[in-house]
Structure 1
């Protein structure tokens, strides 16, 4: 599920198969999964089977949440284009400019590791507002200093890393808050809606950011600051009570941060089905992202012009958008196990032509096809996990999933580049396809995941 965290580059985002993006503190001694929360602590997971599937749009709280999340996503897309360009213009070094984005990504990952625990210990609506306010303020400072010609490289790099670190720490609050807003049965549809939204932003964000940068270099940052401000204002309109969660985490009886952090990881690791689902997501992410990374490096290395590379990049977004629209129609009808099995089998097949040809049309077609089933499987996996996870564990589940399912992707480009240089395109593709093939074996050998039902039977299914 796309989160409120800083959005990834288009190629990486398109390859986020089955990522579950990604609650409060569990009671001090008892297991959150076996302790029944108060009746009004969370929406009821039980709905009559003959009740029509609810639409998340019927809730004004979801509409406010969606506006807040969309504004922050647009803000991230608009300024993402300009960061490296501004960094280079300030320092004159391609290497240093590259390190700015790398340092920001590392900062976000490191703080994100602990962000779930922070989200589970504090009022989530408040954290969403603080995160948006920090983005508006810091990108606003960059805007003013750039417009005045008074922004040194060191300060720019510090501010970029700082806003990424804050977002990593607090960004998970948005997705955790969603669990308190929509009914469990509406969660999968909310996921597919978010994925379609992110695909549109992916397609339009970079061109729009480039247009703003062409007008004047500080304009993308000004627009980003405005979007984060809109996000914060929209979040203030979300009327969701967290009094039950706060009562369960009364300061007088609240365990330490370290206790909550380790308890979150222990809670996930004790659930074999969840661990298998995360492993499946990790392998699919790594395999698809590796092939896409190899394709991108191959296109660059063979002198493909920037326009054709841009078209290829857009094709990945188109595939995700089409897939999200299809998923919105099927997500409540398809079983989780069937969707995961379908994705696992189809993905290697869509990439099969690349073992025999490195032609531009083949790369375009495979990129389009590989993206199509991703939104459905992603919504099913994340929908089931987050719907069945107690509200007091939502943030920590998000942190564990993000670390385990997406961290291996950080090494895809380096590995793809090494394989391309040493063995060529076909071998590079074959190595990552072998990872996808291994995932098929795991899915077939995991009946606990393969037999997971459709959304209308989740209430009767154990996590």
Structure 2
């Protein structure tokens, strides 16, 4: 057997989650969300614009991040007791609404030439809090749902793809979102709206159950217990 044949056999025998159509759809959907969340620089720039204070913008940005972190455990608990598909749909609809409001507010601020800055600032902060809260609720369900689509031996390949995507967006996301904001302040949030819509549309086409797993007589089982032999450290 030639080296090329041996490599072909190895690649065929290696667990590959991308052979699963449902996971390929899921990866495409979550890539859209990753693009959306890579626009955090635009959030800071928007806060600086509406508050006219770098210090206040930094404080509010930190508070918004804190709120997002606080609701993550709530999202994790909900992901174990209700349909993850329903949870994701509702969270993304909330994020979609918040980002749409942000587009409208920033467009209004641009066209008004700074008039009405006070009420717009408050509205922008509320919309950002809603968007961050929705993201915090959705994050645990995203991780858990991915595990419902693949088998434990496929986790390393899936995690490698996730890390490669995250690294790329960390490099590209900040300058790209900053550049979009410099062109049109509402542009990064328009991108968020498109990404949220893309995720929701792709989610509709994933027919496989996203969990949580239900066993008769035991109720719903935590995603941590779905694969007891695997080390789940996503």
TM-score, normalised to structure 1, is 0.43
CA distance 1:69–1:237, change in 2 (3 Å)? same
Instruction: Give the structure 1 partner of residue 22 of structure 2.
Output: 61
Distance in 1 separating the partners of 2:148 and 2:214 = 13
1:390 paired with 2:225, answer: yes
Return the offset for 1:236: 1.7
Contact 1:81 1:209 in 2 (8 A): yes
Distance in 1 separating the partners of 2:46 and 2:58 = 11
CA distance 1:61–1:249, change in 2 (3 Å)? farther
1:112 paired with 2:80, answer: no
Contact 1:129 1:233 in 2 (8 A): no
1:121 to 81, 84, 91: 81
Distance in 2 separating the partners of 1:243 and 1:219 = 35
1:77 paired with 2:38, answer: yes
**Count of residues paired in the alignment:** 213
- Give per-residue Cα distances to partners, 1:404-461, cap 9 Å, x unaligned: xxxxxxxxxxxxxxxxxxxxxxxxxxxxxxxxxxxxxxxxxxxxxxxxxxxxxxxxxx
1:189 paired with 2:157, answer: yes
RMSD of Structure 2 on Structure 1 (CA): 2.7
- Give per-residue Cα distances to partners, 1:113-164, cap 9 Å, x unaligned: 2221111011112222222222222111110121122661111111112221
1:162 to 123, 127, 130: 130
Contact 1:132 1:228 in 2 (8 A): yes
1:130 to 58, 67, 90: 90
Instruction: Give the structure 2 partner of residue 298 of structure 1.
Output: none
Distance in 2 separating the partners of 1:243 and 1:160 = 29
Contact 1:100 1:161 in 2 (8 A): no
Instruction: Give the structure 1 partner of residue 179 of structure 2.
Output: 211
Contact 1:77 1:202 in 2 (8 A): yes
Instruction: Give the structure 2 partner of residue 369 of structure 1.
Output: none
Distance in 2 separating the partners of 1:225 and 1:162 = 14
Distance in 2 separating the partners of 1:224 and 1:244 = 28
Instruction: Give the structure 2 partner of residue 94 of structure 1.
Output: 54
Alignment of 1:7-46 (within 5 A): none
Structure 2, gaps ≥5 residues long:
1-11, 110-115
CA distance 1:242–1:186, change in 2 (3 Å)? closer
